Chain A
Amino acid sequence: MSAQPNHSRDSVIEVSNLVTYYGRHKVLDDVSLDVASGEIMVIMGGSGSGKSTLLRYLLGLHRADSGVVRLFGRDINTLNSREWMGLRRRMGVAFQGGALFNSMTVGENVRMPLREHTRLDENTMRIMSRMKLEVVNLAGFEHLMPSQLSGGMLKRAALARALVMDPALLFFDEPSAGLDPVVAADLDNLILRIRDAMRVSIVVVTHELESAFKIADRITVLDQGRILMTGTVDEVRNSDIARVRNLLSRTCDEQLVDTDDYLQRLTGGTD
């Protein structure tokens, strides 16, 4: 199928030396990471750390300025659109706000990937979508419109849509953002259950420490576009890197102010 060598049989995602810019601003700087098959990798970092940007590059929504992103062993920059489509059928994505199509019911949303990529008959599609809605505890809600769902339900419906093609790789953007602790914990359990039941590799982007520690096999900590460390939950907990410790203990670090620099910024760079 592929002319390229399969770099690592066990890695579903390999990123090496990824550098990206937003205008002239460097967002990601020399980011390398790999996600093994069947593992839950949590990408953690504060606001503006570049974690959402990294996710967009992993999804192939942008082209890297430098560096390589490999999904299932294939460099995504060299794929033609047909190959991309084949690859995307093996990926599921649950976006932060759900990104359900507002003009369709929940059931139609979940059926949408099946309708676009398979030739199954309507009845089979209905049964499959109901099965996935059962998995995320939303049975009976398929006739509702997305606007009638609560925040937690929206995320679970998005998860059902991401799972409907039985992907080998699942991305979940901020599962606990905007949810109360009980609903967030519920969603964490759901993620663990799905991994065990479907043997799917999962990449979760989050800033919630508790949730990250609960679900992760490994955690990558991003800060200001750079990877601070990648390791197991215990390794991150016991890390002696100052910025990781700050993130864990929720203290902000003191930034030393250079007087000349500060004055220059205020005056807009003029003498």
Chain B
Amino acid sequence: MHRWTSCRTVVTEMQAARLRTFTERIGREFVIGVEDFGHGALLLAESLFWILLGRWWQQPVRLRAMVREMMEIGVMAIPVLSILAFANGAMMAMQGIYTLREFGAESQVISGIATSVTREFGVLIASIVVAGRSGSAIAARIGTMQMAQEIDALRVMGVAPVRYLVSPILVASLLMMPTLTILSNLMAILGGGVISIMELHISLGTYFDRVLSVLEPGDLWQGLSKSLVFGVLITLIATGNGFNASGGAEGLGRATTRSVVLCISAIVVADMMFTFFLII
């Protein structure tokens, strides 16, 4: 009897210990999350400060750096983005026509493509492409600099690292994300158009007339305003992960992976919240 009680005590103690470790882990993860959020907010505030007031503090954000980032984030993403957006538009048209055919309403696919692409999918594809390409590249670049003491070198030279490294990226993504979103919209609608021509036997002119008659400025604005928010998210997550990288090559790999995963998750979650507040 006595032995049985002591056995039970051991089991409950082990369970309690396991529960404690579990809750501790949740707590620690939560604190890391709050820390990351605070770090991101500080990065945003500081980089906006340098963009707006840097000139008066003899720390201007250089045009050359901004143009370089715009090339890297925006222009270089054009080929892959065009292909992905076109394919996605074509896919939506195929699925839409297949589903709507059951109701004999396949011609309605055009309005479906037009609104969902401009409100949702155009910007989503553009941001995922930028997150995948630049989210990892930026984190890797800043992480390498951090480990090679280049960030320290900047600071002791009297150059604010955020002004030199983050502000140009922020400007570039604020300008390039809407531009890429417009391109993504066009390519996706074109992709849907090619399928519609074949399946619905209409001309490309008629297709575009129908698209334009369905679209309202509000649809475009929805996508474009989201693109700005996503641009800011990508910049902060990628640069933040870069600055926090430590632990050699393995740490760098971890930072880049974390950067891409967090960028894409943040985009999708933010997109859902946007849609919730804009539509409902």
- A residues contacting B by CB (< 8 A) are 56, 59-61, 81-82, 84-85, 88-89, 91, 93, 95-97, 99-102, 112-113, 116-117
Q: A99-B148, A102-B144, A102-B148 are in contact. Are A85 and B158 (CB under 8 A)?
A: yes
Q: Which of B136-162 contact A (CB under 8 A)?
A: 144-145, 148-150, 152-153, 155-160
Pairs across A and B, CB under 8 Å, 21 listed = A56-B152, A59-B156, A81-B57, A81-B160, A82-B57, A85-B158, A89-B158, A95-B149, A97-B148, A97-B149, A99-B148, A99-B150, A100-B150, A100-B153, A102-B144, A102-B148, A113-B158, A116-B157, A116-B158, A117-B58, A117-B158
User: What residue in chain B is nearest A116 (Cβ atoms)?
Assistant: B159
Beta-carbon contact of A113 and B144 below 8 Å:
no
Residues on B lying within 8 angstroms of A by beta carbon are 57-59, 144-145, 148-150, 152-153, 155-160
Query: Whose C-beta in chain B lies nearest to the C-beta of A109?
Result: B153
Cβ distance A111 to chain B, nearest Cβ, rounded Å: 12
Nearest Cβ in chain A — how far from B59, in angstroms? 8
Question: Separation in Å of the A171 CB from the closest CB of chain B?
Answer: 8
Which of A82, A88, A97 contacts B156, CB < 8 Å?
A88
Indicate which residue in A95, A101, A102 contacts B152 across the interface (CB closer than 8 Å).
A95
10 nearest A-B residue pairs (beta carbon): A88-B158, A99-B153, A99-B149, A85-B158, A93-B156, A95-B149, A99-B150, A59-B156, A113-B157, A116-B159
Bound-state Cα–Cα, A56 to B145, Å: 17
Which residues of A have CB within 8 Å of B157? Answer: 88, 93, 112-113, 116
Is the Cβ of A101 less than 8 Å from the Cβ of B150?
Answer: yes
Taking CB atoms, residues of chain B closer than 8 Å to A116 are: 157-159
Min CB distance, A100 to chain B, in Å? 8
Further contacts, 6 of them, CB under 8 A, given A88-B158, A99-B149: A81-B57, A89-B158, A93-B153, A101-B145, A101-B153, A102-B145
